[in-house]
């Protein structure tokens, strides 16, 4: 749209727009147009931009310009009193997918061993099976590079001395299945994870701080539910807690490092995330349990 100014060089208000968002509340945006010299002077003139939360200036052809001035509904940057109540406090589920080593699939849990607390022996079934497959692939590759064929089958007995005596019948089949998957090239599998995220938007004068309480620990579902119910207990949170207790009982939630994002209008977003893991999926030696 082209604007023709006749007889006056003063700035004119071309548009006033008001919008609302959870982060910023109500905002008013005033758009001025006029000669560039007047626009350039107005961008630092308190009569136009005093107490503004945002100022944008754009020069246009014909020696004209546009000045956009945004005003928040309240000045969050100069709170006279403190508050411990966030503007928003939401808990949400965040599903995502990830690739994990195939030997870590729950199907192969029968090949796992308990943590050794005495003695110096460890059967290491999974690692020996992986080594057997790697050695077999290396032999095939070497034969191919030498221009000859390699028809020998993979021999688990050579890598697992107890393949027939020390392993149970069920473990022997699990070993065959794991080797079968690895030989087929199925070295990873897709698994779904859930992340429970708490997002709070707080004003500048908040007394709320990020929590590093038991950060890096695997929280039991009961401890996580206790935390949620310590905060504002609305119907949505009760529904989330019910789902946690019925669906994720016996699992753990790794507390990640919190994140702080600065928003416009002098507000801040505090994000705390908890990632769900099955019991034993993440080592309690590196990430202890908090129960």
Residue 254's beta-bridge partner residues? 218, 275
Q: How confident is the model at residue 108 (pLDDT cuts 50, 70, 90)?
A: very high
Q: Is 124 helix (H, G, I), strand (E, B) or coil?
A: coil
For the segment 152-187, what is each residue's pLDDT rounded down to a tens digit?
A: 788 777 777 767 677 888 999 999 999 999 999 999
Q: Is it the case that residue 50 has pLDDT exceeding 90?
A: no
Tell me, what's the pLDDT at 55? 92
Tell me, what's the pLDDT at 80? 53
Give the pTM.
0.62
3-state SS of the chain: helix, strand, coil percent to 5?
30, 30, 40
Distance between CA atoms of 144 and 285, rounded to whole angstroms?
43
Nearest residue to 171 via CA among 111, 235, 92, 237: 111
Q: How confident is the model at residue 22 (pLDDT cuts 50, 70, 90)?
A: low
More confident residue, 217 or 75: 217
Percent of the chain with pLDDT over 70: 89
For the segment 196-209, what is each residue's pLDDT rounded down to a tens digit?
A: 999 888 887 777 77
Most confident of 50-59, 71-80, 162-171: 50-59
Distance between CA atoms of 29 and 70, rounded to whole angstroms?
4
Nearest residue to 93 via CA among 193, 191, 21: 193
Q: What is the DSSP letter of 126?
A: H
Say which range, 19-33, 36-50, 104-118, has the weakest mean pLDDT.
19-33
Mean pLDDT, range 270-286, rounded to an integer: 92
The 10 Å Cβ neighbour count of residue 137 is: 14
Tell me, what's the pLDDT at 207? 77
Q: Which residues contact 181 (CB under 8 A, 6 or more apart)?
A: 102, 187
Distance between CA atoms of 63 and 264, rounded to whole angstroms?
31
Say which range, 19-23, 107-111, 200-204, 253-257, has the weakest mean pLDDT.
19-23
Q: Parse the chain into domains and list their residue ranges.
A: 12-73, 88-99+190-290, 101-189
What pairing do the DSSP bridges indicate for beta strands 218-220 and 289-290? parallel
Mean pLDDT, range 189-199, rounded to an integer: 90
Mean pLDDT, range 236-253, rounded to an integer: 86
Q: Which residues contact 17 (CB under 8 A, 6 or more apart)?
A: 28, 29, 31
């Amino acid at each position: 749209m082209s604007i023709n100014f006749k007889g006056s060089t003063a700035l004119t208000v071309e548009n006033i727009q008001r919008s609302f968002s959870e982060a910023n509340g109500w905002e008013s945006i005033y758009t001025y147009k006029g000669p560039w010299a007047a626009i350039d002077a107005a961008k630092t003139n308190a009569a136009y931009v005093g107490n503004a939360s945002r100022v944008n200036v754009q020069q246009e052809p014909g020696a004209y310009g546009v000045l956009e001035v945004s005003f928040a509904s309240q000045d969050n940057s100069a709170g006279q009193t403190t508050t411990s109540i966030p503007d928003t406090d939401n808990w949400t589920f965040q599903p995502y997918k990830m690739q994990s080593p195939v030997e870590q699939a729950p199907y192969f849990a029968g090949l796992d061993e308990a943590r050794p607390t005495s003695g110096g022996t460890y059967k290491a079934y999974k690692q020996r099976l992986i080594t057997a497959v790697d050695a077999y692939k290396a032999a095939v590759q070497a034969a191919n590079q030498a221009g000859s064929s390699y028809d020998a089958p993979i021999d688990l007995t050579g890598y697992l001395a107890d393949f027939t005596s020390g392993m149970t019948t069920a473990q022997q089949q699990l070993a065959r299945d794991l080797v079968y998957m690895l030989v087929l090239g199925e070295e990873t599998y897709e698994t779904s994870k859930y992340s429970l995220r708490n997002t709070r938007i707080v004003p500048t004068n908040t007394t709320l701080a990020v929590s590093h309480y038991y950060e890096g620990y695997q929280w039991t579902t009961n401890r996580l539910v206790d935390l949620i119910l310590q905060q504002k207990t609305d119907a949505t949170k009760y529904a989330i807690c019910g789902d946690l207790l019925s669906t994720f009982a016996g699992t753990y939630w790794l507390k990640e490092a919190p994140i702080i994002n600065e928003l416009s209008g002098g507000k801040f977003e505090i994000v705390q995330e908890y990632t769900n893991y099955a019991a034993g999926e993440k080592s309690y030696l590196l990430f202890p349990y908090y129960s």
